[in-house]
Amino acid sequence: MNEANPRLKPAAGGAAFSACTVASVAVALIIAIVAGASGLEQGSVIYKYLAFAAAPVAILAGTACSMKFYGQKISDVISFKCSPVYFVIALLMAFGLVFCLSYTNSGVLELLKRAGYKPREDSSYIPPLDGWNLLPAIIFIAVIPAVAEEFLFRGVLLSNARSGMGDVAAVFTAGFCFSLFHANPEQTVYQFICGCAFALITVRSSSVLPALSIHFFNNLFVLLMYYFGFSSLPFSPPAAIALGVLGGAAFVGGILWLVFLKKPFSKSVKGGAKAFYAFAAIGIAVNAVMWILGLFTV
């Protein structure tokens, strides 16, 4: 990703986020209307897979429209080549996210429950995982969402944001938009951390592959937990504490490794952040409403 590319504009990143948000709502409504007209129940396997496909389809439509409007090519916003060392860092970060920072979800959930929040049962949205059913589940839940979301958040959004607001602000902006887009109160904190970490390793490696590998591994790990019937990490308290400490050290070590690389972060351009958020305002507002509604929807 070339920071000096004249086709990259912070407004384009904000517009892509808003476009994908609007497309996500539209696709969800279309699925609901078609399901209602055809008598397809929300608890059916087909409906669950359609629900998982909704966001990736919306991202494809939203980014396509935004990139066409701004005259951008895929090579402008995404790159794959990078040094193998970044995959070592990605491994450290993935280990830390799974065995340490994932506990933020249970902590946030407990706080929300005390405030009257009622979480949705896992069985209400996870399709069958027995036997060969695991394969399509991996494709629709681990592979496709990781590819689509990395293309939007660490590709189109991050590349354009960096061109105006600089690397550091763009990393936190990508994390904020990533967590808000999911509109899941239980996982907002964890997803913000993930979003920032994925953006940071993308900025430093100049490639989307390390972040994509962490994202896929994280999704796959959660899916396999469901597959084996675990609602939480299956370790004794001493083992969980040890893994948590090791995971925290691995994650912090990976972040520090990236921060203190001998390569400078790009600086912001006057008005760059304002341009991004002006065009991302619709997406931010819609996702904020969806997030709030998620607090009251069982």
Given pLDDT bands bounded at 50, 70 and 90, which one contains residue 1?
A: very low
Domain boundaries, the chain: 10-296
* pLDDT greater than 80 at residue 120: no
pLDDT at residue 117, rounded to an integer: 84
Widest distance between CA atoms in the chain: 59
| pLDDT tens by residue, 165-193 | 999 999 999 999 999 999 999 999 999 99
pLDDT score, position 42: 80
1 or 194: which carries more pLDDT confidence? 194
Looking at residue 277, what is its pLDDT?
Answer: 97
Range 261-285 average pLDDT: 92
Please give the model's pTM, rounded to 2 decimal places: 0.94
Residue that wins the pLDDT comparison between 184 and 18: 18
Q: What is the pLDDT of residue 23?
A: 97
pLDDT tens-digit series, residues 137-173: 999 999 999 999 999 999 999 999 999 999 999 999 9
Average pLDDT over residues 46-71: 95
- For residue 121, the model assigns a pLDDT of 67
pLDDT 10s digits, 194-239: 999 999 999 999 999 999 999 999 999 999 998 988 877 888 889 9
